[in-house]
A and B are shown apart, each in its own frame.
Chain A
Amino acid sequence: MTDVMTRRSAPALADRLKPFSLPLGIVALLLVFALIEPRVISGANLRNIALQTSFLAIFAAAQCVVLLTRGFDLSLGVTVSLVSVGAGMAMTSAGVAAGLAAGCGIALAVGLFNGLLIGAIGINAFVATLGTSYVVMALASTLSGGFPVAPLPPAFNAIFAQGSLFGIRAAIWVALIVLLAIGLMLRFTTLGRRLYLVGASARAATAAGIRPAAVLIAAYAICGLLAGIGALLLTARTGSGEPNLGGNLTLESIAAAVVGGAKLTGGEGGISSALLGALFITVLSNGMNLVQVDGYIQQVFLGAIIVLSLILGRDGARR
Chain B
Amino acid sequence: MLNVSGLTKRFGGFTALEAVDFTLLPGEVHALLGENGAGKSTLINAICGTFPPSEGNVQLDGRSLLDLSPLRVREVGVAPVFQEFSLAPALSVLDNLFLGREATRGPFLRRGEMRREAEALLSRIGFSLPLDEKVSRLSRAQKQMVEIAKALRLSPKILILDEPTASLTDGEAEKLFEAVARLKAQGVGILYVSHRMAEIRRLSDRVTVLRGGRLIATVHTADVTDAELIEMMVGRPVDELFPEIHNSPGAPALRVSDLSTATGSIRAASIEARKGEVIGLAGLVGCGRSELCRAIFGLEDISSGEVVLGETPVAKPRPDRMIAAGICYFPGDRAAEGLALNRPARENVSMAGLRLRKLSRGGLLRAGAEPEVVAGPLDKLGLRPMMPERRAGAFSGGNQQKVMLARGLVDDFDVYLFDEPTVGIDVGAKTDVYRFIKQLAESGACVIVSTSELPELLHLSDRIYVMAGGAVVQEIARDEASETAILSHYFGE
**CB pair A190 B347 closer than 8 Å:** no
Task: Report the minimal beta-carbon distance from A17 to chain B, rounded to whole angstroms.
Answer: 20
B residues 350-404 near A (Cβ < 8 Å) are 351-352, 354-355, 359-360, 363-365, 367, 393-397, 400
**CB pair A268 B354 closer than 8 Å:** no
Task: Report the minimal beta-carbon distance from A264 to chain B, rounded to whole angstroms.
Answer: 13
**CB pair A5 B331 closer than 8 Å:** no
Query: Which residue from chain A places its CB closest to the CB of B41 in the assembled complex?
Result: A2
A residues 1-53 near B (Cβ < 8 Å) are 1-9
Give the complex CA separation of A207 and B322 in angstroms: 10
**CB pair A200 B396 closer than 8 Å:** no
Q: Which residues of B contact A196 (CB under 8 A)?
A: 340, 343, 347
Query: Which residue from chain B places its CB closest to the CB of A196 in the assembled complex?
Result: B343
Q: Which residues of B contact A8 (CB under 8 A)?
A: 12, 394
**CB pair B319 A208 closer than 8 Å:** yes
**CB pair A3 B320 closer than 8 Å:** no
**CB pair A1 B424 closer than 8 Å:** yes
**CB pair A193 B338 closer than 8 Å:** no
Q: Which residues of B contact A288 (CB under 8 A)?
A: none
Q: Which residues of B contact A188 (CB under 8 A)?
A: 364-365, 367
Give the complex CA separation of A193 and B395 in angstroms: 21
Counting chain B CB atoms within 10 Å of each CB, which of A7, A191, A193, A208 scores highest?
A: A208
Query: Which residue from chain B places its CB closest to the CB of A265 in the assembled complex?
Result: B342
With contacts A1-B400, A191-B363 taken as known, whether A201 is within 8 angstroms of B12 at the C-beta atoms is no
**CB pair A267 B42 closer than 8 Å:** no
A residues 61-118 near B (Cβ < 8 Å) are none
**CB pair A201 B354 closer than 8 Å:** no
Pick the residue among A5, A201, A210 that contacts B396 (CB under 8 A). Answer: A5
Task: Report the minimal beta-carbon distance from A202 to chain B, rounded to whole angstroms.
Answer: 9
Task: Report the minimal beta-carbon distance from B41 to chain A, rounded to whole angstroms.
Answer: 9
With contacts A190-B360, A191-B363, A267-B340 taken as known, whether A208 is within 8 angstroms of B12 at the C-beta atoms is no
**CB pair A204 B51 closer than 8 Å:** no
Q: How many residues of chain A get a CB closer than 8 Å to chain B's CBs? A: 32
**Per-residue interface assignment for chain B, residues 416 to 456, with 1 indicating a CB less than 8 Å from any chain A CB and 0 otherwise:** 00000000100000000000000000000000000000000
Query: Would you call B339 an interface residue if the criterion is a C-beta within 8 Å of the partner chain's C-beta atoms?
Result: yes
Give the complex CA separation of A210 and B424 in angstroms: 26
Give the complex CA separation of A9 and B322 in angstroms: 40
**CB pair B341 A200 closer than 8 Å:** yes
- Which secondary structure dominates chain B's binding surface? mixed
Task: Report the minimal beta-carbon distance from B51 to chain A, rounded to whole angstroms.
Answer: 7
Give the complex CA separation of A18 and B256 in angstroms: 53
**CB pair B340 A209 closer than 8 Å:** no
With contacts A1-B424, A188-B364 taken as known, whether A268 is within 8 angstroms of B42 at the C-beta atoms is no
**CB pair B354 A200 closer than 8 Å:** no
**CB pair A201 B365 closer than 8 Å:** no
Q: Which residues of A contact B355 (CB under 8 A)?
A: 190
A residues 186-238 near B (Cβ < 8 Å) are 187-194, 196-197, 200-201, 203-211
B residues 185-223 near A (Cβ < 8 Å) are none
**Per-residue interface assignment for chain A, residues 267 to 306, with 1 indicating a CB less than 8 Å from any chain B CB and 0 otherwise:** 1100000000000000000000000000000000000000
**CB pair A206 B397 closer than 8 Å:** no
A residues 144-197 near B (Cβ < 8 Å) are 187-194, 196-197
Counting chain B CB atoms within 10 Å of each CB, which of A6, A7, A191, A201 scores highest?
A: A201
With contacts A6-B12, A8-B394 taken as known, whether A208 is within 8 angstroms of B364 at the C-beta atoms is no
Task: Report the minimal beta-carbon distance from B147 to chain A, rounded to whole angstroms.
Answer: 22
**CB pair B320 A209 closer than 8 Å:** yes
Pick the residue among A2, A208, A211, A267 that contacts B407 (CB under 8 A). Answer: A208
Give the complex CA separation of A72 and B42 in angstroms: 39
Task: Report the minimal beta-carbon distance from A154 to chain B, rounded to whole angstroms.
Answer: 40
**CB pair B340 A3 closer than 8 Å:** no
Q: How many residues of chain B get a CB closer than 8 Å to chain A's CBs? A: 45
Pick the residue among A1, A190, A200, A210 that contacts B363 (CB under 8 A). Answer: A190
Task: Report the minimal beta-carbon distance from A265 to chain B, rounded to whole angstroms.
Answer: 8
Q: Which residues of A contact B341 (CB under 8 A)?
A: 200-201
Query: Would you call B16 an interface residue if the criterion is a C-beta within 8 Å of the partner chain's C-beta atoms?
Result: yes
Task: Report the minimal beta-carbon distance from B395 to chain A, rounded to whole angstroms.
Answer: 8
With contacts A6-B12, A189-B363, A209-B352 taken as known, whether A201 is within 8 angstroms of B340 at the C-beta atoms is yes
With contacts A2-B16, A193-B365, A203-B336 taken as known, whether A210 is within 8 angstroms of B351 at the C-beta atoms is yes
Give the complex CA separation of A268 and B347 in angstroms: 13
Query: Would you call B11 an interface residue if the criterion is a C-beta within 8 Å of the partner chain's C-beta atoms?
Result: yes
Pick the residue among B319, B365, B393, B395 that contacts A189 (CB under 8 A). Answer: B365
Give the complex CA separation of A2 and B14 in angstroms: 9
Task: Report the minimal beta-carbon distance from A240 to chain B, rounded to whole angstroms.
Answer: 39
Give the complex CA separation of A204 and B347 in angstroms: 12
Pick the residue among B14, B324, B339 that contacts A201 (CB under 8 A). Answer: B339
Q: Which residues of A contact B343 (CB under 8 A)?
A: 196-197, 200, 267
Query: Which residue from chain B places its CB closest to the CB of A9 in the assembled complex?
Result: B12
Query: Would you call B329 an interface residue if the criterion is a C-beta within 8 Å of the partner chain's C-beta atoms?
Result: yes
**CB pair A193 B394 closer than 8 Å:** no
Query: Would you call B245 an interface residue if the criterion is a C-beta within 8 Å of the partner chain's C-beta atoms?
Result: no
Query: Would you call B228 an interface residue if the criterion is a C-beta within 8 Å of the partner chain's C-beta atoms?
Result: no
**CB pair A207 B299 closer than 8 Å:** yes
Give the complex CA separation of A189 and B363 in angstroms: 6
**CB pair B367 A3 closer than 8 Å:** no
Q: Which residues of B contact A205 (CB under 8 A)?
A: 340, 351
Task: Report the minimal beta-carbon distance from A44 to chain B, rounded to whole angstroms.
Answer: 41
Counting chain B CB atoms within 10 Å of each CB, which of A188, A190, A194, A204 scores highest?
A: A204
Contacts A9-B12, A209-B322 known; 14 new A-B pairs at CB < 8 A: A2-B11, A187-B365, A188-B367, A189-B363, A189-B364, A190-B364, A193-B347, A200-B342, A201-B336, A203-B337, A204-B336, A209-B319, A209-B324, A211-B320
Task: Offer 22 A-B interface pairs, CB within 8 angstroms, sorted by A.
Answer: A1-B393, A2-B14, A3-B51, A5-B11, A9-B11, A188-B365, A189-B363, A190-B360, A190-B365, A191-B363, A193-B365, A200-B341, A201-B336, A201-B341, A204-B336, A204-B337, A204-B340, A204-B351, A205-B351, A207-B338, A211-B320, A267-B340
Give the top 5 A-B pairs by smallest Cβ distance, nearest first: A200-B340, A209-B323, A208-B352, A209-B320, A208-B351
List residues of A whose CB falls within 8 A of some B CB.
Answer: 1-9, 187-194, 196-197, 200-201, 203-211, 267-268
List residues of B whose CB falls within 8 A of some A CB.
Answer: 11-14, 16, 42, 51, 297, 299, 319-320, 322-324, 329, 331, 335-343, 347-348, 351-352, 354-355, 359-360, 363-365, 367, 393-397, 400, 407, 424
